[in-house]
Amino acid sequence: MWQKAKAPLLILVLALAARLAYACGTGKLQAPMRLDEPEYTNLAKSLLAGRGYALERGPTAFRPPVFPLFIASVFAVGGPHAANVRLVQLIISAGTCVLIYYLARACRLAPPAPMFAAAICVVHPLHWILALMLFPETLYLAALSTILLICVSTAPRLRGASRGHWASAAAIGALVGATALLRSEAVLYFGLLALWTLSWRIPVRRRIITIAAMLAAGVLVMSPWWVRNYVVFDRFIPLSTNGGVVLWNGNNPLARGGTVDALPENWRGESPPPDLFYHGWSTLGELESSERFRGEALRWIRENPGRFLLLLPLKALRMLRVDARGNFRPPGLHWAWNIPYGIFLAIAVWGTILIRRRRGPLYLPCVPLIATSIACLIAIGSTRYGAPISISAAVLAAPALVEMWRKSSERLTKSVAEGSSGHGGRE
C-alpha cells in the first residue's frame, strides 16, 4: 500500500508546498477582492443569510450556482473570509495534480510519464495564480480531471458486456451536469462524450442506452436549477443569463480577440448604452439585458462575417497565451512567460504524435482542448478561459518529456562510457 501511495502522496506534498510558498511569498492569500470576486462572495453571503440566490437588484441567474454554493460552504465552516476560500482552493489545486497523475496512468502512459504529467501541473504558474482568485477555474479544473479519469477508467465497462454499464454512464452524466452549473461551457461535454461512444464497436442499442443514461443523469442534476429559474423568472434558463454579454464581449466593432468591457464608451448599438456594466441596463431585466447583448453580437457577426473569421486566430492566440486578459487591462504575467509556455505547447504536440504512433487513447485527453477551443473561438480568447487546456497539454506532453529524458540519459551514458574508455586507453 505504501508503494502505491508513495507517488501520489509525494505529488500532493510538493504541489501544496509550492502553492503555499507562492501564496505566502506574494501575499495574495490576504489580497483584496477584485473583478468578479465580490459578486461571487455576495451571492454566497446572500445564501447564508437566507435571502436566496440574489444580488442587490434581487434574484439572479447571472452566475451558475455551484461556485457561490462552494464559497458559502467554506464561509459556513471557517467564516466569511476570502483567505479561507483561497486556502481551500490551494488544497484542491494540489489535489488536481494527483488526479492528473492517475489520469495519465489510466491512459496507459508508460512510467515515468504519469509523474511528468503531474509535475507539469505542480509547477504550472497558471494553476498557482487561479488558486488564489475567487473564480470557478480551480474547481473546474478538478472537476474536468475527475470526469476524464472516470471516463478512461470505466471505458472497458462501458464498452464491455456488463449489464450495469448504464450506472457508470449515469455517474459521468451527473458529474458533467454539476460541472456545467460551475462553468457553462462544460455542457459541451455531453456532446463530446456522446461522440466518444461512436468509436466503440458495440451494438447501436447499447450505445443509445449509454448516451441516454448520461443525459438523463445530467438533466436530473441540473433540473433543480431549472425549476428555480422558471419559478423566479417565469422562463426556462438552463445555465445562466451571462451568455449574451460574454458573446458580445468578443464580437463587436471594437473586438480584437479578447474582452471588450460593456462600458458606455464601448457601445456601438442602439441607444441607450449599458449602465450596469456587464449586467446591462437598469431599465431592463436580467433576461432582457442578456438578449439585447446577444442580439447585438449576432447582428454584428451577420454584418461582418469576414471580420468575425479574422478574429478566430486572434482569439486562439490569446487563449494559448499565459498573459492575456481583457483588451484594455494589464496582463496578469510578464509577456516573456509565453516563450517557455510556447515551447511546452510544442512539446505537447510532439507528445500527441507519440501517443498516436503507440496507439494510446488520444480523444479523451484532448476533450478539454476541444471544448475550450469551441467556447473561446465563439466568444472570447483569454488566459483564464483557456485554462482547461493545461489538462490536455499536461497529459499529451508527458510522453514527449519522457522521450527527451531517455535520449538525454542515453547521450550522457554514452559520453561517460566513451570518456572512461578513452582514459583507460591512454593509461
For 107-135, the three-class secondary structure string (H helix, E strand, C coil) is CCCCCCHHHHHHHHHHHCHHHHHHHCCCC
Say yes or no: 117 and 193 in one domain.
no
Say yes or no: 98 and 171 in one domain.
no
The verdict on residue 112 lying in a domain is: yes
Per-residue pLDDT tens over the stretch 288-343 = 999 999 999 999 999 999 999 999 999 998 888 877 664 444 445 667 777 888 88
Say yes or no: 208 and 87 in one domain.
no
Say yes or no: 178 and 223 in one domain.
yes
Give the pLDDT mean for 344-350. 90
Given this model, what pLDDT does residue 7 score? 85
Say yes or no: 114 and 199 in one domain.
no
Q: 10 Å Cβ neighbour count for 160?
A: 13
- Boundaries of domain holding 93: 1-135
Domain count within the chain: 2
Per-residue pLDDT tens over the stretch 253-272 = 998 888 888 888 888 888 88
Q: Is the pLDDT of residue 41 over 90?
A: yes
For 380-418, the three-class secondary structure string (H helix, E strand, C coil) is CCCCCCCCCHHHHHHHHHHHHHHHHHHHHHHHHHHHHHH
Q: Is the pLDDT of residue 129 over 70?
A: yes
Q: Which of residues 236, 266, 294 is at a domain's end?
A: 236
Say yes or no: 178 and 96 in one domain.
no
Q: Which of residues 89, 108, 135 is at a domain's end?
A: 135
Say yes or no: 15 and 97 in one domain.
yes
Given this model, what pLDDT does residue 3 score? 64
More confident residue, 85 or 421: 85
Give the pLDDT mean for 354-376. 88
The verdict on residue 276 lying in a domain is: no
More confident residue, 223 or 328: 223
Confidence label for 163 from pLDDT (cuts 50, 70 and 90): low
Q: Is the pLDDT of residue 383 over 60?
A: yes
Say yes or no: 44 and 82 in one domain.
yes
The verdict on residue 301 lying in a domain is: no
DSSP alpha helix (H) spans, 124-270: 125-131, 137-159, 165-180, 188-196, 204-233, 243-250
Say yes or no: 90 and 183 in one domain.
no
Task: Give 54's DSSP letter.
Answer: E
Residue 59: beta bridge partners?
54
Given this model, what pLDDT does residue 340 score? 85
Say yes or no: 110 and 16 in one domain.
yes
Q: Is the pLDDT of residue 83 over 60?
A: yes
Average pLDDT over the chain, rounded to an integer: 87
Confidence label for 426 from pLDDT (cuts 50, 70 and 90): very low
Rounded to the nearest 10 degrees, the angle between the axes of helix 389-426 and helix 363-378 is 130
Q: Does residue 272 have a cis bond before it (omega within 30 degrees)?
A: yes
